[in-house]
Structure formats: C-alpha cells, structure tokens
C-alpha cells in the first residue's frame, strides 16, 4: 500500500514539474547595497537590521518596504532578543580569515590549536595534527567575531583525540593527502604532481621507526573524509572535549589578553611545479 501511495505522489509531482516553467538562477553578492542590513550583534539590532514601524519595514539605509518583506523583517526582528547571547561579541579579527586548500590562515590556526589543546588536555607530547577542511564550516569574519561565528565555524560534535602513530603510518597518511590535501599541523609537506616528495616533522625528516603524538578528531579516525588516522595506532584516546568546547574559550581568552585573532600561512604545504 505504501508503495502505491508513494508512486502516486511521485507521478503527481512529476506531472507538476513537467509542466512547470523553467527558471534561471544567478549569484548575487550580499553587499548591503539594497537595504544596508548587516550582521547584527546584541547591541546594534536596529542600526544593523532596521525596524518595523506600523505597516512598513524601514531598512538601515532608510528605504521602506511593505507586504511580504515587512512580514519577514518582523519575524527576524522578533527573534533577536532570544538570539542576544549568540550575538555577543567575543573577539576581533582584522581582515578576516578563510579556509582553503592546500593551506590557509584559518586552517593553519585550527590545526595548530588542535596541537596546543590536545597537548594541554592530555599532558602528552603532540607532534602533528590532522583536521579536515569540511569541518571548518564558516570563515572568520572581518572585524567583530560573535559567539555565533565560532558556533557556525565548528557546528559538529567532533571529539578531540590523542593518537600515537609510527612514522611509517604517518608517512602513509601524508602520501594519501598529497593527492587530496586536508588540514595539517606540525609538519611540512613537499608535493609534486599529487605525490609526496618530502615530509618534515618539527623541522626534522620523518622517522619511520619513531612513535609520534597526533592530535585529531574522532570523525577522522576511521573513514571520515576517507581518512583512517586511527589505523595502526600504537595507542588511542578519545577525549571528552568537543572542538567547540575548546575553540570558544580559546577565542575568549585571546580577547581577555587584548589580542586580535590573527594567523598566517607558513609554507607548511609546498606544491612544486
């Protein structure tokens, strides 16, 4: 019976779509040019999002809108009080940072913080780290950084892990990454034509016989983004700390010290031509 109903629904939808008008789409840069609206913090809702006055919506740039736009604006504005906590400013990033392969300021910042955090939590030496570009879901904005920005950047409940790996197993991972780079810390890779040419850890050649301390997340232990960081582990510890539980306090601590959120590319991935 369920199959019959499902088929009927499918045929009905197909009939509607077959006779539907074709649409074309284009990308439009959200640059505040139409209304002047921008990301609101807890203290600048009206100047950032505008206001509803009687039967019209008054945008930050003074333009007025009625009908559906006014109704949508009313819903958004009504939600702002409940969103005040996540709209709190907790940091500042001059220029902003984006995440992209083979390395970027933001991904390097994340990878190196993995090392610092896991080393601090476990009290053990951490030599290298692995993260994934897909796990950094939003850029660091230019200017004020909100709670919401960090939550959006790290929305997944990924737990930090401490793994001990032999150098030979590390080399196998780096060989794989040479053809599909992910986020790395503590190492410098030289790659040519999608193949690993050289790898240094802590400025020294990778030793296949040495055991290295590795910081990563549980998603990458056994298959996430086609990585298997836990394979062949000498030891493995899944920590009771999610990424967001570490990165949020870290950003707040920088602000408490009067520091901006800034980082740099350092050539940790060199692509030879």
Looking at the fold, whether 134 and 185 belong to one and the same domain comes out as yes
Q: Is the pLDDT assigned to residue 108 strictly greater than 80?
A: yes
- Sign of the C-alpha dihedral, residues 173, 178, 181, 185? positive
Looking at the fold, whether 66 and 163 belong to one and the same domain comes out as no
Looking at the fold, whether 42 and 140 belong to one and the same domain comes out as no
Looking at the fold, whether 180 and 240 belong to one and the same domain comes out as yes
Backbone angles phi, psi at 248, to 5 degrees: -65, -50
Is residue 223 a part of any domain in this protein? Answer: yes
Whole-angstrom distance, CA of residue 50 vs CA of residue 36: 9
Bridge partners of residue 270, in order along the sequence = 190
Q: Which two tokens stand for residue 4?
A: 């019959």
Q: Calculate the average pLDDT of the chain.
A: 90
Confidence (pLDDT) at 143: 93
Q: For residue 19, what are the contacts with CB-CB under 8 A and spacing of at least 6?
A: none
Looking at the fold, whether 63 and 129 belong to one and the same domain comes out as no
Q: Which two tokens stand for residue 108?
A: 């390097």
Whole-angstrom distance, CA of residue 153 vs CA of residue 73: 26
Is residue 172 a part of any domain in this protein? Answer: yes
Whole-angstrom distance, CA of residue 174 vs CA of residue 206: 11
Pairing of β 269-272 and β 187-192: parallel
Is residue 23 a part of any domain in this protein? Answer: no
- pTM of the entire predicted model: 0.79
Number of domains making up the chain: 2
Looking at the fold, whether 63 and 107 belong to one and the same domain comes out as no
Is residue 149 a part of any domain in this protein? Answer: yes
Looking at the fold, whether 104 and 195 belong to one and the same domain comes out as yes
Is residue 125 a part of any domain in this protein? Answer: yes
What's the CATH number where 232 sits? 3.90.780.10
User: Which has the minimum average pLDDT: 44-58, 115-129, 195-209, 239-253?
Assistant: 44-58
Q: Which two tokens stand for residue 9?
A: 């629904």
Is residue 13 a part of any domain in this protein? Answer: no
Is residue 17 a part of any domain in this protein? Answer: no
50-87: per-residue pLDDT in tens? 999 999 999 999 999 999 999 999 999 988 888 888 88
From 87, 122, 156, the end of a domain falls on 87
Is residue 5 a part of any domain in this protein? Answer: no
Q: Is 117 exposed, middle or buried (0-12, 13-18, 19+ CB in 10 A)?
A: buried
Confidence (pLDDT) at 1: 38
5-52: per-residue pLDDT in tens? 454 555 555 555 555 566 666 666 666 778 888 877 778 888 889 999
Confidence (pLDDT) at 20: 55
Whole-angstrom distance, CA of residue 26 vs CA of residue 195: 37
From 87, 122, 152, the end of a domain falls on 87
Looking at the fold, whether 40 and 75 belong to one and the same domain comes out as yes
Which domain covers residue 57, as residue numbers?
32-87
Looking at the fold, whether 233 and 110 belong to one and the same domain comes out as yes
SS (H, E, C) the chain: CHHHHHHHHHHHHHHHHHCCCCCCCCCCCCCCCCCCCCCCCCCCHHHHHCEEECCEEECCCCCEECHHHHHHHHHHHHCCCCCCCCCCEEEEECCCECCCCCCCHHHHHHHHHHHHHHHHHHCCCCCEEEECHHHCCCCECCEEEEHHHHHHHCCCCCEEEEEEEEHHHHHHHHHHHCCCCCEEECEEEEEECCEEEEEEECCEECCCCCEEEEEEEHHHCCCHHHCCCCCCCCEEEEEEEEHHHHHHHHHHHHHHCCCCCCCCCCCCEEEEC
């Amino acid at each position: 019976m369920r199959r019959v109903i499902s088929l009927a629904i499918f045929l009905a939808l197909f009939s509607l779509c077959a006779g539907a008008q074709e649409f074309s789409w284009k990308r439009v840069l959200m640059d505040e040019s139409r209304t002047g609206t921008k990301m609101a913090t807890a203290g600048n809702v009206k100047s950032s999002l505008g206001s509803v006055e009687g039967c019209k919506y008054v945008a930050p740039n003074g333009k007025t809108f009625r009908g559906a736009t006014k109704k949508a604006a009313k819903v958004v504005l009504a939600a702002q009080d409940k969103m005040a906590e996540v709209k709190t400013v907790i940091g500042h990033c001059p220029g902003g940072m984006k995440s992209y392969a083979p390395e970027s300021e933001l991904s390097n910042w994340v990878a190196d913080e993995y090392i610092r955090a896991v080393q601090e939590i476990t009290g053990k030496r951490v030599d290298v780290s692995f993260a994934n570009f897909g796990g950094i879901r939003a850029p660091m904005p230019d200017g004020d950084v909100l709670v919401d920005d960090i939550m959006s950047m790290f929305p997944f409940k990924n737990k930090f892990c401490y793994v001990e790996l032999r150098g030979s197993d590390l080399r196998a991972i780096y060989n794989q990454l040479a053809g599909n780079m992910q986020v790395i810390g503590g190492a410098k890779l030289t790659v040519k034509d999608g193949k690993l040419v050289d790898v240094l850890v802590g400025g020294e050649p990778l030793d296949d016989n040495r055991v290295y301390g590795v910081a990563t997340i549980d998603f990458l232990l056994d298959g996430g983004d086609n990585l298997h960081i836990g394979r062949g582990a000498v030891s493995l510890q899944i920590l009771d700390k999610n990424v967001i539980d570490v990165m949020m306090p870290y950003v707040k601590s920088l602000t408490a010290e009067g520091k901006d959120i800034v980082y740099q590319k350092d050539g940790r991935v060199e692509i030879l031509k």
